[in-house]
């Protein structure tokens, strides 16, 4: 079976996937396994209608919602480790790129893609005439198949604007994160609201999975250290975020083997990590993956950042989520559908109703959790 990696990030290949399967078709004797990251847009029907094509993802996005997807339960760092050890195949890579001095630049993402490109036997580049570029982006140093296409369409947002609940959660998170020296926020409603609410005691440094609107907000408010790099695996957001990331020399992209390495993260004192999720249990275990039988998302970088912050001197792991689901059910569960992050790594939980901070008294911790999930 051929394993074909399909790039995630701000720009997602579609025409390149069609061209690959036309050139090297999937057959009964030579089936194809497509590996997707966070896919926001739909996969072309021509790509997935073959009975000899299957789909795998460590972080299923909305673009895979209507497909049968095999879930790959690996964090970003674990994925890099599996690639390096040869535990997952890398027969081909299909990416979006723009010509550069080194080959084709992927523009605004590194993550695990450089490791994939360096190992792939076949590289297909969906070639754009121009792409924004951030320092450290992955590069396809060769292209076995070039597929010229028009410039990218508008970015598809990952979430809506912060609502009142997100803002209330954010104010509670901000109280817990005030002493942060290094901050991981990520993307989403709560992250953006935290960026608006946070009043740090000193200048902040940002290390995160994806630079998004929350990072731009922190930079615009002048709370970031002017001399410290802003490090991530990718940039994800509307044009104003991408333009700023390209122009601000502090923004640097790194492979996930580094930026998601718990050991590397632990070297940064005062690392505060804010994680979203679907539910928690009384032990503080976090589920960010499943809602009943439905695979909503994946592990992403959550376990990696949590382990790093837990080992960081002065670090803290904060889980931030609404007290109830859209259906009105409590998000404090006796048993979780999946455990994304162990409760042993979680220092605090914030909802719109307040915060629970772990101490030495387990009974008090549980009482606090019950109060904020009322």
pLDDT for 360 beyond 90: no
Nearest-CA neighbor of 301 among 38, 7, 52, 13? 38
Q: State the pLDDT at residue 189.
A: 84
Query: Confidence band (pLDDT; 50, 70, 90) for 13?
Result: very high
Provide the pLDDT confidence category of residue 162 given band limits of 50, 70 and 90.
Answer: low
Read off the pLDDT of each residue in 126-137 and give the average, rounded to a whole number: 94
Contacts with 151 (C-beta within 8 Å, 6 or more apart), sequence order: 128, 129, 130
Note the pLDDT of residue 159: 55
Residue 362 has pLDDT above 60, yes or no: yes
**pLDDT for 119:** 96
| Residue range 107-125: mean pLDDT, rounded | 97
Residues 200, 176 contacting (CB under 8 angstroms): no
Provide the mean pLDDT of the chain: 93
Range 120-156 burial, b when 16+ CB lie within 10 A, else e: bebbbbbbbeebbbbebbbbbeebbbebeeeebeeee
Band (pLDDT 50/70/90 cuts) for residue 326 is confident
pLDDT of amino acid 186: 77
Domains, the chain, in order of start with CATH, read 2-148 (3.40.1080.10), 164-372 (3.40.1080.10)
Q: Looking at residue 307, what is its pLDDT?
A: 98
Structure-block tokens of residue 60: 């299923």
Mean pLDDT of 221-233: 95
Closest CA to 218 of 193, 190, 254, 252: 193
pLDDT band at 287 (very low <50, low <70, confident <90, very high): very high
Residue with tokens 């410039």: 151
Q: In the prediction, which pLDDT does 293 show?
A: 82
CA atoms in the 13 A half-sphere facing the CB of 322: 14
CA distances from 205 to 18, 184, 234, 322 (A): 41, 9, 16, 27
Q: Residue 157 has what pLDDT?
A: 58
Higher pLDDT among residues 28 and 156, named by residue:
28
Q: What is the pLDDT of residue 153?
A: 61
Confidence of residue 294 (pLDDT cuts 50, 70, 90): confident
| The two three-digit tokens of residue 140, written as one number | 């396809």
The predicted-structure confidence for 187-224, as pLDDT tens digits, reads as follows: 888 888 999 988 888 899 999 999 999 999 999 999 99
pLDDT of 156: 59
| pLDDT single digits (tens) 243-282 | 999 999 999 999 999 999 999 999 999 999 999 999 999 9
Q: Which residues of 259-280 are buried (b: 16+ CB within 10 A; e: fewer)?
A: bbbbebbbebebbbbbbbbbbb
The answer to whether residues 4 and 92 touch, using CB atoms and an 8 Å cutoff, is yes
Answer yes or no: is pLDDT of 355 > 90.
yes
CB-count exposure of residue 67 (10 Å: 0-12, 13-18, 19+): middle
Tokens 């083997």 correspond to 257
Report the pLDDT value the prediction gives residue 155, as an integer from 0 to 100: 60
Tell me the pLDDT band of 161, cut-offs 50, 70 and 90: low
The pLDDT value given to residue 158: 55
Average the pLDDT over each of 20-29, 145-154, 238-247 and give the range with the smallest value.
Answer: 145-154
Strands 316-320 and 348-351: parallel
Q: What does the alpha-carbon distance between residue 25 and residue 31 come to, in Å, rounded to a whole number?
A: 8
Give the separation between CA 338 and CA 8, rounded to whole angstroms: 24
Counted residue by residue, the chain has a size of 374
């Amino acid at each position: 079976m051929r394993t074909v990696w399909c790039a995630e990030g701000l720009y997602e290949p579609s025409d390149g996937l069609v061209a690959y399967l036309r050139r090297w078709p999937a057959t009964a004797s030579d089936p194809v396994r497509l590996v997707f990251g966070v896919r926001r847009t739909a996969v072309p029907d021509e790509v997935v209608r073959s009975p000899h094509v299957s789909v795998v993802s460590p972080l299923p996005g909305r673009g895979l919602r209507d497909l049968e997807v095999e879930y790959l339960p690996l964090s970003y760092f674990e994925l890099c480790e599996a690639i390096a050890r040869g535990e997952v195949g890398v027969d081909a890579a299909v990416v979006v790129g723009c010509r550069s001095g080194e080959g084709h630049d992927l523009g605004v993402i590194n993550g695990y893609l450089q490791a994939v490109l360096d190992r792939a036997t076949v590289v297909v580049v969906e070639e754009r005439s121009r792409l924004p570029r951030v320092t450290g982006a992955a590069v396809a140093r060769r292209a076995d198949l070039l597929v010229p296409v028009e410039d990218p369409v508008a970015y598809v947002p990952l979430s809506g604007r912060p609502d009142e609940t997100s803002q209330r959660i954010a104010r509670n998170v901000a109280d817990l994160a005030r002493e942060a020296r290094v901050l991981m926020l990520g993307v989403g409603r709560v992250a953006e609201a935290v960026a608006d609410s946070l009043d740090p005691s000193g200048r902040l440094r940002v290390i995160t999975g994806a630079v998004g609107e929350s990072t731009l907000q922190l930079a615009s408010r002048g709370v970031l250290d002017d001399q410290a790099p802003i490090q991530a695996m990718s940039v994800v957001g509307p044009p104003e975020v991408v333009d700023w990331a390209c122009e601000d020399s502090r923004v640097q992209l790194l492979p996930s083997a580094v930026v998601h390495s718990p050991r590397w993260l632990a070297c940064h004192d005062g690392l505060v990590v804010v994680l979203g999720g679907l539910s928690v249990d009384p032990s503080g275990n976090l589920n960010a993956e499943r809602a009943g039988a439905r695979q909503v998302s994946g592990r992403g970088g959550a376990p990696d950042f949590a382990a790093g912050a837990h080992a960081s001197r002065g670090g803290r792991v904060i889980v931030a989520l609404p007290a109830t689901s859209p259906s009105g059910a409590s998000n404090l569960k006796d048993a979780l559908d999946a455990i994304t992050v162990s409760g042993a790594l979680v220092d605090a939980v914030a909802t719109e109703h307040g915060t629970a901070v772990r101490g030495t008294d387990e009974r008090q911790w549980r009482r606090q959790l019950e109060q904020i999930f009322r």
